[in-house]
């Protein structure tokens, strides 16, 4: 899949002309939705609407993402400018469509959700070929995992379409009505020059947006999906445990760290991982990265083996997106996934149980005017077990999402245990502390806590005597020294989760 701004044959003149075209080129948003519509409002408010074109999906209202209350607060003149961004210059009675954007723009961002994005990507590249617009760059906004019905496989879209750009930034859509508000974003593409040029195009559409370039499209999209799930948990924590302020810093820290740790594993799986840092026209430090790479290694059979790549964590706008989605805003509204977590907390407090099914949770959300199409965190959570397996994510690096998955999708007979962990601040704090440890680490802690148990005492003695722990490590998965009868709920939940995800 070719997806950059240049096409051979190359010459000094053709490249110079192409750079000028890109400099003066337009950015198109297809399908629209809340983020592009809010961004368009900000651009129009600054009278910067000449560089942006909009094409709503057929059958979708241009302003349909806004509530009636939000629309009532907007300036009619600004709304008229947004309308002009979407009306065909040849036929003022017709909205632009995707083919128009590909003909008129140098960068087209598909803002479709997970329901439509795969088909939209295929259509966009078909139109590029049909219209002979091979140098138009296609990117997406989607923040959830995709699902292939034929192969029954869940995946990150940018992994399959590795040349697809990814645009991501944190925003409070209500705050975008403020002409003084400023916000940051990242445009990621595996080719550093494409990322730099596209980010400059986006950076100039409004004085309020600052867009940085990055090369981590796959990691960025994974973080977005994991962040959307984690934001549900954050909304729950802020609401249900509002009277336990000591819990929230721990909960939010673990949710944040695990999003980045998971993406660091996913980064190592990408097939073009090595080329991200080699054979680039620009060294990535010139894109704003502080260093060339941040890597983690483990000692395996006497050799250090690279297991994680955290270089993407230098993309500050991306990290800010994760942090911001888990916080209550000073102004504007929390993310819709955060709002879904608020609904979960209120209903669990009322009914004193977990939702009986996904369908019941969605009913709760709809009662609060939250539509499934905007809840990408829930769309991703449905495919979570497959994602964990596909990308070999260790359970101690995704323990919080695992717990949320069991709260909504677990069997009814175990939800009473999950409920106790969710709603008891001591249990949840303990879960946050203990579930992030690898299994073998917890076995040592279990043995120390039950040193009066002869088996635990013998285990510790042998561990200390053993130089390489060869005799004890083989029994880690079967070791338990505490009585299951007196186990706290968080330990029971951890064992249930480990059993489910290991099967």
DSSP states along 297-359: EEEETTEEEEEEE-GGGG-HHHHHHHHHHTS--SSS---HHHHHHHHHHHHHHHHSS--SSHH
Neighbouring CB atoms inside 10 A of 111's CB total 26
Query: How is residue 244 written in tokens?
Result: 């336990």
Query: How is residue 259 written in tokens?
Result: 């999003």
Residues 499 and 503: their CA atoms lie apart, in Å, by 6
Residues 46 and 228: their CA atoms lie apart, in Å, by 30
Query: How is residue 433 written in tokens?
Result: 């502390």
Say whether pLDDT at 272 is over 70: yes
**What CATH number is given to the structural domain containing 171?**
3.40.50.720
Say whether pLDDT at 433 is over 70: yes
Residue 319 lies in a domain: no
Q: List the single range of 77-91, 128-142, 172-186, 338-352 with lowest mean pLDDT.
A: 172-186
Residue 447 lies in a domain: yes
pLDDT in the model for residue 340 = 96
Q: Percentage of the chain surpassing pLDDT 70?
A: 93
125: containing domain: 12-223
Report which of 120, 110, 171 is spatially closest to residue 140, judged by C-alpha positions: 110
Q: What is the mean pLDDT of the chain?
A: 89
Confidence bin at 467 (pLDDT 50/70/90): low
Say whether pLDDT at 124 is over 60: yes
**pLDDT for 189-244, tens place per residue?**
999 999 999 999 999 998 888 999 999 999 999 999 999 999 999 999 999 999 99
Question: Is 284 or 464 the better-scoring residue by pLDDT?
Answer: 284
Report which of 233, 222, 242, 256 is spatially closest to residue 340, judged by C-alpha positions: 233
Q: List the single range of 23-37, 60-74, 172-186 with lowest mean pLDDT.
A: 172-186
Say whether pLDDT at 174 is over 70: no
Residue 347 lies in a domain: no
Question: Is 34 or 166 the better-scoring residue by pLDDT?
Answer: 166
**pLDDT for 42-98, tens place per residue?**
888 887 667 899 999 998 889 988 888 888 888 899 999 999 999 987 777 899 999
Say whether pLDDT at 304 is over 80: no
Residue 364 lies in a domain: no
Residues 73 and 487: their CA atoms lie apart, in Å, by 54
Say whether pLDDT at 442 is over 70: no
Say whether pLDDT at 1 is over 90: no
pLDDT in the model for residue 173 = 58
Say whether pLDDT at 269 is over 60: yes
pLDDT in the model for residue 476 = 44
Residue 284 lies in a domain: no
From 223, 258, 279, the end of a domain falls on: 223
pLDDT in the model for residue 170 = 66
Q: What is the DSSP string of 125-194?
A: HHHHHHTT-TT-EEEE---S-EEETTTTEEE-HHHHSTT-EEEEE---TTGGGSTT--EEEEEE-SSHHH
Residue 122 lies in a domain: yes
Query: How is residue 57 written in tokens?
Result: 């999906």
Is the separation of the CB atoms in 344 and 235 below 8 Å? yes
- Give the rounded distance of the alpha carbon of 451 from its chain centre: 43
Number of domains in the chain: 2
Residue 83 lies in a domain: yes
Residue 315 lies in a domain: no
Say whether pLDDT at 477 is over 50: no
Report which of 59, 93, 75, 105 is spatially closest to residue 176, judged by C-alpha positions: 75
Sign of CA dihedral 297, 299, 303, 307: negative
pLDDT in the model for residue 27 = 96
């Amino acid at each position: 899949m070719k997806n950059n701004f240049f096409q051979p044959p190359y010459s000094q003149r053709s490249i110079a002309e192409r750079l000028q075209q890109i400099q003066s080129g337009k950015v198109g948003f297809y399908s629209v939705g809340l983020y592009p519509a809010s961004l368009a409002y900000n651009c129009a408010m600054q009278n910067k609407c000449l560089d942006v074109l909009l094409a709503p999906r057929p059958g979708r209202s241009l302003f349909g993402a806004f509530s009636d209350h939000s629309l009532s607060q907007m300036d009619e003149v600004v709304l008229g400018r947004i309308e002009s961004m979407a009306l065909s210059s040849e036929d003022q009675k017709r909205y632009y469509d995707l083919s128009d954007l590909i003909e008129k723009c140098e960068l087209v961002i598909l803002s479709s959700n997970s329901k439509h994005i795969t088909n939209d990507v295929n259509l966009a590249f078909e139109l590029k070929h049909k219209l002979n617009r091979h140098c138009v760059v296609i990117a997406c906004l989607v923040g959830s995992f995709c699902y292939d019905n034929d192969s029954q496989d869940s995946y990150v879209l940018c992994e399959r379409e590795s040349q697809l750009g990814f645009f991501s930034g944190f925003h409070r859509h209500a705050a975008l009505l403020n002409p003084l508000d400023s916000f940051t974003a990242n445009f990621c593409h595996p080719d550093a020059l494409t990322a730099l040029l596209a980010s400059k195009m986006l950076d100039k559409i409004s004085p309020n947006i600052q867009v940085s370039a990055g090369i981590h499209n796959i990691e960025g999209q994974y973080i977005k999906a994991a962040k959307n799930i984690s934001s549900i948990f954050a909304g729950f924590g802020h609401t249900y445990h509002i009277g336990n302020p000591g819990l929230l810093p721990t909960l939010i820290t673990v949710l944040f760290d695990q999003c980045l740790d998971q993406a660091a594993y996913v980064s190592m799986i990408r097939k073009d991982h090595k080329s991200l840092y080699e054979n680039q026209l620009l060294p990535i430090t010139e894109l704003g990265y502080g260093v060339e790479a941040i890597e983690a290694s483990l000692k395996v059979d006497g050799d250090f083996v690279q297991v994680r790549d955290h270089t993407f964590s230098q993309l500050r706008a991306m990290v800010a997106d994760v942090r911001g989605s888990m916080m209550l805003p000073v102004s504007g509204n929390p993310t819709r996934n955060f709002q879904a977590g608020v609904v979960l907390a209120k209903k669990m407090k009322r009914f004193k149980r977990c939702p009986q099914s996904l369908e019941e949770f969605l009913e709760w959300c709809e009662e609060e005017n939250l539509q499934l199409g905007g809840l990408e965190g829930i769309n991703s959570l449905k495919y979570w077990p497959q994602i964990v397996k596909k990308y070999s994510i260790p359970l101690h690096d995704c323990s919080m999402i695992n717990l949320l998955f069991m709260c909504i999708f677990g069997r009814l007979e175990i939800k009473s245990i999950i409920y106790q962990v969710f709603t008891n601040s001591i249990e949840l704090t303990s879960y946050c502390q203990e579930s992030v440890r690898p299994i073998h680490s917890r076995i040592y802690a279990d043995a120390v806590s039950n040193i009066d148990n002869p088996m635990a005492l013998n285990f510790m003695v042998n561990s200390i005597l053993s130089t390489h722990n060869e005799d004890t490590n083989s029994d880690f998965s079967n070791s338990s020294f505490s009585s299951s009868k007196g186990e706290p709920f968080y330990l029971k939940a951890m064992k249930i989760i480990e059993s489910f995800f290991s099967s």
